[in-house]
Amino acid sequence: MTAAQRQTRATSADELCREAYAASCGPVTGVALVAVGGYGRGELAPHSDLDVVLVHDDDVPLGDLGHTLWYPLWDSGRRLDHSVRSMSEMVEAAADLRVALGLLDARHLAGDPGLSLRLRTTMLADWRRQARTRLPDLKALTRKRHEVTGELAHASVPDVKEAEGGLRDAGVLRAIEASWLVDASTPALEAARVMLLDVRDEVQELAGRPSDRIAPEMWGPLAERLDLADAEAAQRHVRSLGRRIGHLSRLAWRRTDAVMDRTTGEKGRRTPALERIAPGIALSRGEVVLDAGTKPADDPTLLLRAAAEAASRDAVLAPSTAARLVRECTELPVPWPAPARDALVRLLASGPGLLPVWETLDEIGGIDTFLPEWEQIRLLPHASTIHRFTVDRHVVETCAEAGSLIRGVRRPDLLLVAALLHDIGKGSLHDHSVAGEPLARKVVTRMGFTDLDAEVVASLVRWHLLLATLATTRDPDDPATTAELLTHVPDGASLELLRALTEADARATSSAAWTSWRESLIDRLVTRAGAALGAEVSHVVALETVPVPDVVRRESGAVSVEITPHEVGATVTVIAADRVGLLADVAGGLAALRVPVKAARAWAQVDSEGEWGVSAWEVPDAYLDPAVVRDRIRRVAEGTQRLPSPPARGVDELPPIVEVRPAASRQSLVLEIRTSDRPGVVHLVLTTLADLGLTVASAHVSTLGPQAVDVFYVQEVGGVRPTEERAATAAHAVRGALEG
């Protein structure tokens, strides 16, 4: 089936309607017969209805014209969906969204062409005038339809018309375009829509009736009709079209929402405002774009960093920006530099923001630039019916589920990468766990992880089904079951990771794959294995006091600032007379400059001139001015610098963990904090401690993907260890500050 054949069917139907109108002696003025909906677009499928309206001016009587017109159409055997309305009744009927959408495609068939033109222009004008009130209703109607029909790209019995990413969504995009609020039409959309029309035609021919659902047994015959290799190729083809239309639909709705939410001041701008959010990256009207003057060829990490920024902010990664980065960025070196690796982990852990950004990367060929192995599982159907998604989407969903579990493992970065790669072996002729192990090791090594980390991830991929299998098919309380598990799990950290990956994989599969019963069996086995290892499975990390380097004071004055650029940013070293609140002031100065802190260490140093507080801050921006940093710190200390508002915890964000480690140090209270990596977190914690009159003898701040892992060695003034009561007060205050 082709567009030409659809047009031939529409032309034949047009002739039939015109003949019927002429035979019924329809007037040439004041009355018109118009086609609407798919027939109005001239896109009749083999079993489509003829959707027509007999419209007339309010002052023109029709008599029995309607009855005499419809009989010859019925006698022809064509399916007919018809109505008779005056112009004023048409305007009233358009209050129904479904009617309004159909009338946007009104096309003259017979009678008064001027009336048909007036109808069309009236409907378009009304739609544009009421767009800001009607589009939210259309969005709600569309979402409700999606909840019922599922996604064309993933449903086991997809509906090529009604499912998310189907022909109905393509029509909705045309309606958004007609509102003049957003440019929702693209060549990619039109190409996908036309190919999906071809699919629908073949489905109806195979079914012999007006059905738009593809039953499992239809994939093979459909492949023959579409000249594709086999049933799997047909599935990939149809699902790829659905994914593309679905992606473009979600993008168009995000942009529509942004336009309707835009502030009054922004509406009048001729050029969009750019807010710099990272080196080379900016935010404009809710979309991540390149900052002015950025040259993609100079930074191979830019694509991943832009994607991570978009996903972590739940913003749109502008497709034009992503496409430019794919074209112009040089290949990532092997092994990857640290910023690329960190950006990938942040991307994978970004929760709701991951899927739309990942889809954008997939659509423009961006994933292939850093993970060419993805092609093997792209749109690959699962053999098991328990899976609700194709393999590639299941993997993305697993990463999203793993992102909610990172607070419970010591290495969240390894958990997220293992989630990304756990099914990478599917599509081969071997057991996917066995085939995936060497692939995972190769990928993780290419990403720049250590050999030990690569072995951990490879082992997780190889045995990611083991824990669930043993817990549900063997007795979890039998020592032999524990022994078999420990044959492949060498330590407590690996057991934590396997437990989290098992849960994420099951939750991403379906609701039936992760029940309270299965969870209880798995936890019993994990508890026994942890006891056998002699290590409690928890998120507590044993920390040792690390010797600190000597830093020579190089400047005179109250505060010395030195900035040392390196390949992934810069180290900002600050030295000043030690006092309560010094670290909080330094963190505040960096926060005032909106400089993100990726890692930090602080310690005290004594020399002949006195006792100094020394801190080293790792930041991504190598172009800071020491004089400006020094000035900001001074102004924060004096209370004259206005600081950004404390970071608010998102509604869906994991709660912070604040723990007291009584055995970690004899001289200090050790506070271990795990929270989402947000601007100003370090300053907030340090300020809270300073307000309690506590000093920080040593600080160890680091970021693992989206999670900040901060450890503070806290003392009373004079170097005394705080009492247990003071420790509890400090932990409670810090937790309260982080929770907002």
Please give the pLDDT value at position 261.
79
Residue 130 has pLDDT above 50, yes or no: yes
Closest CA to 536 of 702, 659, 408: 408
Give CA–CA dist 613/697, Å, rounded: 9
Sequence length of the chain is 740
**Both structure tokens of 615:** 């801190």
Query: Superfamily assignment of 1-129 in CATH?
Result: Beta Polymerase, domain 2 (3.30.460.10)
Mean pLDDT of all residues belonging to the chain? 87
More confidently predicted of 215 and 647: 215
Predicted confidence band of residue 550 (pLDDT cuts 50, 70, 90): low
Closest CA to 721 of 732, 730, 708, 733: 730
Express as a percent the part of the chain with pLDDT over 90: 51
- CA 327, 330, 335 angle in degrees (round to 5)? 135
CATH 3.30.460.10 positions along the chain are: 1-129
Asked which of 137-151, 265-279, 556-570, 647-661 is least confident by mean pLDDT, the reply is 265-279
* Mean pLDDT to the nearest integer, 125-136: 93
Q: Are 212 and 163 in contact (CB under 8 A)?
A: no
Match 């017969």 to its residue by tokens. Answer: 33
Please give the pLDDT value at position 466.
95
Please give the pLDDT value at position 269.
54
Please give the pLDDT value at position 636.
82
Residue 40 has pLDDT above 60, yes or no: yes
Asked which of 379-383, 667-671, 720-724 is least confident by mean pLDDT, the reply is 379-383
CATH 1.10.3210 positions along the chain are: 377-533
Indicate the residue type of 494: S
Is the pTM value of this prediction over 0.85?
no
Please give the pLDDT value at position 540.
33
Please give the pLDDT value at position 271.
60
Please give the pLDDT value at position 543.
37
Please give the pLDDT value at position 113.
95
Residue 537 has pLDDT above 60, yes or no: no
Closest CA to 671 of 715, 617, 616, 615: 715
Please give the pLDDT value at position 659.
86
* Mean pLDDT to the nearest integer, 149-161: 90
Side-chain-facing half-sphere of 193: CA atoms under 13 Å: 19
Residue 536 has pLDDT above 60, yes or no: no
pLDDT tens by residue, 296-324: 999 999 999 999 999 988 899 999 999 99
Give CA–CA dist 587/179, Å, rounded: 48
Helix (H) or strand (E) holding 120: helix 113-129
Give CA–CA dist 411/734, Å, rounded: 23
Between the ranges 89-98, 467-476, 498-507, where is the mean pLDDT highest? 498-507
More confidently predicted of 63 and 84: 84
Residue 541 has pLDDT above 50, yes or no: no
| Residue 626: partners with Cβ closer than 8 Å, 6 or more residues away | 561, 562, 563
Q: Are 359 and 247 in contact (CB under 8 A)?
A: yes
| Residue 318: partners with Cβ closer than 8 Å, 6 or more residues away | 284, 287, 288, 289
Please give the pLDDT value at position 539.
35
* Mean pLDDT to the nearest integer, 732-738: 91
Please give the pLDDT value at position 135.
94
What DSSP string runs through 475-499?
-TTSHHHHHHHHHH--SHHHHHHHH
pLDDT tens by residue, 159-215: 999 999 999 999 999 999 999 888 887 888 999 999 999 999 999 999 999 899 999
Please give the pLDDT value at position 268.
53
* Mean pLDDT to the nearest integer, 262-291: 77
Predicted confidence band of residue 87 (pLDDT cuts 50, 70, 90): very high
Other Cβ atoms closer than 10 A to 245? 27
Express as a percent the part of the chain with pLDDT over 70: 93
**Both structure tokens of 548:** 């600190």
**Both structure tokens of 291:** 């900052």
Residue 707 has pLDDT above 80, yes or no: no
Please give the pLDDT value at position 697.
78
Q: Domain 377-533, CATH 1.10.490 — does that match? A: no
Q: What is the DSSP letter of 373?
A: G
Question: Cis ω on the peptide bond leading into residue 335 (within 30° of 0)?
Answer: yes
Residue 611 has pLDDT above 60, yes or no: yes
Give CA–CA dist 152/145, Å, rounded: 12
